[in-house]
Amino acid sequence: MTTFRIGHATVTAIPEIVDTSFKLRSFFPASTAEAVAAEAHWLSPRFHDATTDSIRLSIHAWLVNTGRNLILIDTCVGNHKHRPARSQWNRLETPFLQRLAAVGLHPEQIDYVCCTHLHADHVGWNTRLLDGRWVPTFPNAKYVFGQREYDHWDGLWRMGDPSSHHLAAYADSVLPVIEAGKVLLASDGFILDGCLRFEPAPGHTPGHVAIRLSSNGQSCVFSGDILHHPVQLRHPAWSCMGCDNQAEAARTRIALLDDLAETDTCLMTGHFLAPHAGRVTEFAGGFWLSTLN
């Protein structure tokens, strides 16, 4: 597990799985064979299997210790969740909580759980199965969701198809914490613990947020699904197939990368392979991440 120090805070990645089920060309509909081939010298074999076209995506949570509170950002897929549309997410049995214990923490110690958005691979460990019921995994925590994101999924839930894996996640990983009275809905610009700011980052979902940590003159941004894969650093206009609004998602991604490029602010990604984070640099008309070298 990788730990970063941001001012007085520490940030540790808690891994769940590496997903290899997506194909690059279909995951990024705007991609071309020529553009992918031009990146092959660094993409393969670590980030892309050219034989199968599969990409490798990490699914991990971020643990933030501010010195005052313990905060989890994005809670992966979760165990025992019924996700038949995603074979590598379906009925998982991973040692995620044991990995949390390996850094000296138990679920009861978490003070806040924050979700950049409410997709199935970012809310799963919000709940665990106990005696046939989904109950909050972190019983003493407040769960912080963006107001606009909550409104979007609550509206879809009321009129939508519960067989959708994202709506299934809403049912088993979001509704139980709402019903337990543990949810805090955050407006744009909300600041948690004096150091974590919720910033609008729409496109992947309508209410997606970036979460910016500022501590003792240093900062980082938890980007959720603004980016999924390092190829988007080289081609930031490529939005993934799961983006609600691909054009808006691209604008959000480009704006974030422009904002972070050549600064000391660290980008803490949602799906890049370990070490998952680094500083953004400008490179050959696009961008790069320092830890990819």
Give this prediction's pTM. Answer: 0.96
Q: What is the pLDDT of residues 228-269, one digit of tens each?
A: 999 999 999 999 999 999 999 999 999 999 999 999 999 999
CATH number (domain holding residue 212):
3.60.15.10
| pLDDT of 163 strictly over 70 | no
Find, among 6, 27, 5, 39, the residue nearest to 235 by Cα: 39
Q: What is the 3-state secondary structure (H, E, C) of 37-83?
A: HHCHHHHCCCCEECCCCEECEEEEEEEEECCCCEEEECCCCCCCCCC
Count the domains in the chain.
1
Tell me the pLDDT tens digit for each residue of 183-199.
Answer: 999 999 999 999 999 99
Least confident of 51-65, 149-163, 271-285: 149-163
pLDDT at 1 over 80: no
Domain that holds residue 107: 3-292
pLDDT tens figures, 134-158? 999 999 999 999 999 999 999 998 8
> What residues form DSSP beta bridges with 48?
55
Whether the predicted pLDDT of 293 surpasses 80:
no
**Over the stretch 93-117, which tens digit does the pLDDT of each residue have?**
999 999 999 999 999 999 999 999 9
